[in-house]
Amino acid sequence: MCRHEDSDRRNHRGIRYNNLISSPFFYNQLIMSRYEKFKESFKGKKLRESLLGYAFIALPLVIFFAFSVGPIIFSVIVSFHKWGILTWRMDFVGIENYVKILDDRVFIVALRNTLLYTIVVVPSQTLIAMGLALLANQKIRGATFFKTTYFTPAVTSSVVISLIFYWLYMKEGLINYLLSFIGIVGPNWLWATSPPNPNYALLAIMMMNIWSTSGYYMVMFLAGLQSIPEVFYEAARIDRASRWQRFRYITLPLLKPVTYFVVVLSVIGTLQIFDQVYVMTRGGPYYYSTTTVIYHIWNKAFRDFKMGYASAIAWVLFAIIFVATMVQRKLVKEAGVLY
């Protein structure tokens, strides 16, 4: 009898609960209580804490919008105008600036140089960085010193490195002096005077950048190597796997995410090369042989004062970088690299 009474009470309470939550009054009360709590958070001490928090982030937000978001939006607007920067007058020209890019022979040469530079530098510095990381990961005396030595160029100003290599690449510079000891007459690396003479300027910049950036990416590969569990290598040694087999079947697969990250950063960086060209060759020595897209943008904006056209080229370069990044992401997704 008691069991039946308990069951009836539970059913009755369930019916009352269902009737309560199904009534509009219940939801009105719930919303009002939430609203009251929300208002309470802006009163007294909580209001002061909220205002203090917003005050702390106000200056960084102003700087971010003023020097990042603002210029980006402004460059989009300028790309559809003819603006000479020395005057406030901006004439709307629609997509004329973008159409002119197709007939710009210097842009085509600059894009070719930039793509060639990317194709050569990215694989080279990635392989060298991986090799340096493998060496630095060995438990040998002086490993810390070598890590520091490899990484030093990465924290040195690119302008300083460019000036040093500018002197090294001179006709009577140190590189040609060392080549003379093995019977090689060094070329005029940066300033070949006419087309019959071989032009090594772009190659010289490539070699300098490979040397200066490999240490930076070495640190990334080193972090990836040290995150691989040692138990995998111990199991491989028990199975009598050789060093090459351990590298091929353990190290390389587990380094794929790091490799993808390094390649993406390398591609983005090499497509935006500017300072080395500006310091060492100014786009020369002839026929725009070292002019890159970013250097061409700088020329149009600050030498020819064609801000609208320069902004249009900048957004075309952004589209190229974006597409290249998306293609890489798609390829590595299909290969199962991202996990």
Measured over the CA atoms of residue 100, residue 313, residue 300 and residue 88, the dihedral's sign is positive
Is there a cis peptide before residue 285, judged by omega within 30 degrees of 0?
A: yes
Q: Taking 70 as the threshold, does the pLDDT of residue 6 lie above it?
A: no
Task: For 270-310, write each residue's pLDDT tens digit.
Answer: 999 999 999 998 887 878 889 999 999 999 999 989 999 99
Residue-level pLDDT at 317 = 94
Predicted confidence (pLDDT) at residue 231 exceeds the cutoff of 80: yes
Q: How confident is the model at residue 48 (pLDDT cuts 50, 70, 90)?
A: confident
Residue 328's pLDDT band (boundaries 50, 70, 90)? confident
Average pLDDT over residues 232-247: 90
Average pLDDT for the chain: 84
pLDDT at residue 62, rounded to an integer? 92
Task: Give the pLDDT band (50/70/90) at residue 332.
Answer: confident
pLDDT of 336: 61
Sign of the CA dihedral with 17 first, then 22, 23, and 25 last: positive
Tokens 């990836």 locate to: 224
Residue 20 binned pLDDT confidence (cut-offs 50, 70, 90): very low
State both tokens at 74.
């402004």
**19 pLDDT above the threshold of 70:** no
* Average confidence (pLDDT) over 303-325: 93
What pLDDT score was predicted for residue 96? 93
Which SS3 state, helix, strand or coil, does residue 287 take? coil
pLDDT tens digits along 139-183: 777 778 888 888 888 888 899 999 999 999 988 889 999 999 998
Residue 23 has pLDDT above 60, yes or no: no
Q: Are 296 and 258 in contact (CB under 8 A)?
A: no
Question: How confident is the model at residue 154, as a pLDDT?
Answer: 85
Residues 276/290, Cβ–Cβ less than 8 Å: no
Look up tokens 């028990």; give the residue.
238
Range 103-116 average pLDDT: 94
What pLDDT score was predicted for residue 334? 66
In the prediction, which pLDDT does 43 show?
58
Domains and CATH numbers, the chain: 2-96 (no CATH), 97-334 (1.10.3720.10)
State yes or no: pLDDT of 236 exceeds 50: yes
Predicted TM-score (pTM) of the model is 0.79
**Amino acid occupying residue 207:** M
Percent of the chain with pLDDT over 90: 45
pLDDT at 242 over 80: yes
Given a cut of 80, whether residue 47 has pLDDT beyond it is no
Q: Which residue did the predictor score with more confidence, 331 or 319?
A: 319
pLDDT in the model for residue 29 = 62
Please tell me the predicted confidence (pLDDT) of residue 193.
Answer: 63
Q: How many CB atoms within 10 Å of residue 110? A: 25
Confidence of residue 22 (pLDDT cuts 50, 70, 90): low
Return the pLDDT at 36. 65
